[in-house]
Amino acid sequence: MSLYRDQGVALRHYKLGEADRIVVFMTAGHGKVRAVAKGIRKTKSRFGSRLEPPTNVSLLFYEGRGELDIVSQAESIDHFRPIRDDLGRMTDAMSMLEAVDQTAQERQPDARLYQMLVAALRTLADRERRSPLLVAAFYWKLLSMEGFGPILEQCASCSAPASGVALVAFDLTQGGALCRDCRQGLPVSPEALQLLGRILGGGLAGALQEPDSAVTSEVAALATHSMEQHLERRLRAVHVLDHG
């Protein structure tokens, strides 16, 4: 067995045996890694809260013989305290972690995805402001990285340019925004398409400053719907407190 170092964000964990846990990490150098943290559920565990989602940690792994590695040492890089102190932020963080867990491939290095996740968590941990668009923006960027960036400047079906026809619907399976003749999926307003264009077209910082409004809600709902279409499953974390 060999040792290797990496940095990773804890995405989720499962109980294992008496006092152990399997922790799933999104690492910078090894993609998604599943590893056993021995004795972590004991109150005197040396890991403490370091492997609790969504902590970003510097890790030393033992490479296991099977699918699972073993966490040998862990040192916090950032524990994102404000996220843990606020239920809304915590739900947002979980929504992002769930999407990463579903899209990242085990042992396939994806440093960009790791960096994007850390940056999004840092933004979420900013106590001064909280953007209603953060999770949505993260989903859109993630979809683009996966090669499913939506077409917004023309009808995704008949290629009629947005300058000539009104784009009134959105369906990710069709490739993006659709004109009146080709419409299917969800109806979409021009303001929402414009905001979506800003998120994906280099205006992210400005878009995240937008106050909560009908347009931000529309873009957020569209992001969740599109991500669920892409994953072909319902995102649990987004909806879990809906009926609370």
Partner 1 sequence: MYAAPVQDLIDELGRLPGIGPKSAQRIAFYLLKAPSEDALRLSHAISLVKERISWCRRCFNVSETATGDVAGQSECEICRDDRRDKTTVCVVEEPRDIVAVEKTREYRGRYHVLQGAINPIEGVGPDQLRVRELLARIDAEAIVEVIVCTNPNIEGDATAMYLASLLRALPVKVTRIASGLPVGGDLEYADELTLGRALEGRRELA
Binding residues vs partner 1 (CB under 8 A): 12, 17, 43-44, 46-50, 52-53, 55, 76, 79, 81, 84, 86-87, 90-91, 94-95, 97-98, 101, 236-237, 239-244
Nearer to partner 1, 50 or 141 (CB): 50
* DSSP three-state, residue 93: helix
Give whichever of 57 and 188 is closer to partner 1, judged by the CB atom. 57
- Give dist(CA 105, CA 32) in Å, integer: 6
Burial of 76 (0-12, 13-18, 19+ CB in 10 A): middle
> Least Å distance between CB 209 and partner 1?
26
**Maximal C-alpha separation, the chain:** 66
Which CB, 69 or 98, lies closer to partner 1?
A: 98
Q: Shortest approach of partner 1 to residue 104 CB, angstroms? A: 14
As measured in angstroms, the least distance from the Cβ of 84 to partner 1 is: 6
Q: CA 61, 112, 90 angle in degrees (round to 5)?
A: 75
Residue 236 CB-density burial (10 A; 0-12 exposed, 13-18 middle, 19+ buried): exposed
Provide φ and ψ at 140, rounded to 5°: -65, -40
Please identify, using beta-carbon distances, which residue of 188 and 238 lies nearer to partner 1.
Answer: 238
- The residue among 48 and 201 lying less far from partner 1, judged by its C-beta, is 48
Q: How far is the CB of 201 from partner 1 (least distance, A)?
A: 31
Least distance CB 102 / partner 1 (angstroms):
10
